[in-house]
Chain A
């Protein structure tokens, strides 16, 4: 599906064609300020997506999408006006600017708002954009994943393999004189496997990954690796026993378990919840909120990571931020509006799903810093508990801190050793309490394959997660079997 343009003009990288001429952007800012607001911003986006889906041994569909549009935001005091349009003709653009301006009530006058380009770091610049990679090559990935999953074991009955990518170009300009443009490529290959065992028992496995990586990433992170891991997970829980409900010691496997940190802690540290007083971490800066083994970091600057950004969706550089240091709350993640209202500074955490959405504070790549124990020692130290090898999904109520995680692959721990697989395991807790009950943190690496997508207020953004092996005491495990104890 190579774009005709890239065939003809080889050396015309997407980021050098501007989305909107600078003069027009400046005139839009003026129009947005005509009722005398404090701030105006123009966000332009052009997003090209491709997806190839394979199921029932066949490439079912190949699809491509193009969305483009502009969002104009005007801020007057604490009031925000927002208008967006997917037409980019002058009339639609100025209508959006004036609609957003409606929020301000002053008289204001037409004055110029010149902008100049902000140089950006390059955490993920790709030589060849994903939109320019032939669709036949993308198709090949799902075909190989399907083959490898079926070859893994006869019990593999169904394979759903999906490759999806996007090449998103954005332009952000505001009345503080900044203009930034970025091209953000993102891809993910994923495989879902359904295996059937004795007596028709059906188990599923899921694995995938990618990031802001060149297409050659899949030369080393191969479709075969992805498929085999999904198949392994499906088979691992065959014949699993029902988990015992109640309080238990749990050990989280490294890597994807970071989703627990993301949900149970990360969201509560986003500045909008803090400002409104709806997070239970509000007003606790400098206080001890976790075990001293716990250091939590949000880092938007990791090379090629799924959650990284050269610039956030408000034009600010992303940062390496320590949120919790040895158990003490050090900082929040903020966009510019919440920072201004709270008298702090943006941490480059303003993100939005698209031009159709207002930016808000979001995570980038969030992880727990490694500790000192070896993963083997951590498991060896547990007399009775549950080893959580893989997670399905989770959800958190920011306000009361309640979180829930579905553990898709779990094992019993008995006298320091992994035992039989368990099914139907759900972890439930209150974020800060779970953090206080962290009693061991591993020194192992925490590979993030790059498959996380975070939803908040109906907006989805790609994120990275990470966690070394961690032991948490007194965690409530949900199951169908009520234990005899207690």
Chain B
């Protein structure tokens, strides 16, 4: 589960991890009202207006409705004009940004609607660094990654100048140790006060990461101010979905407007669904089989419309929900049901399909491949239903048939 930058910063601030002063706004008036307290608290007339969406690349991103406007904009009007000038500039920006669509490298061409802004103090930046905490699957524990190349895409840095990436392993028994944090700081060419601030920052963050069950914390950039402070200028956090049960405070931060409504509905029904751009809807049991069903459709010249895993123990009701979600997609020109029943019995799937088709109707070709537990019973249920369903002998046969029919 992802959260917004302002929420990540709130979590960090609560633990004494240094972040700039800022306020969230969902209306133009709230954005304007945020300016005065921030300027007065920080004694800095510069503020920054930051669009809050669950995607990176906001600074370089542009609004579709306002092609000259970036998702992160610095307001300097207050330097000469005072607070009221800054407020007016923020009013103009917020009016344009709220409700508009921000397109970044990570949102895809369709972009994302901006529903909230974060108004933040301006920072006098001396250096921009990179810092993240994430799982290294190869060693089965979390690591800290740091780099002097802040503000850049870390994948690019890793590829072009791998020597500029520093790492430290976090032993789950003892956490990130003092000497590790110190070595990272020196590796980042930090000295004196800034070094001490960094050590404090990274140790607190590593501790917080373990406590919050984060999948990823990425601070890019982590800045060193001209005064030697070390703070998170940006903050990206994602949490382990499997651990959310023990973090109600994080669950409360969920912004469902950032999630695909179909994917959300599927999740609530205990299904795993991901929407894609193709024309052939898929319903499969098991993640691996579901992925390879998409692959085999592509292999025979079709394009999958979705990933859908009904899981190992789905009931007829869940199957019906899955079917409804698939048929709702207007791009879908054919459906391929591919089931290898292990725990999942083929008759359960068959009953669910028949129910669903009776309920929602069927306007596109449907190919069903059943194999495994109770396969004969499942086939009989479908045959006797009188529905217009095409049977497939195996996955290949089914994929070829549906690709042909959906043309």
* Chains A and B bind each other: no
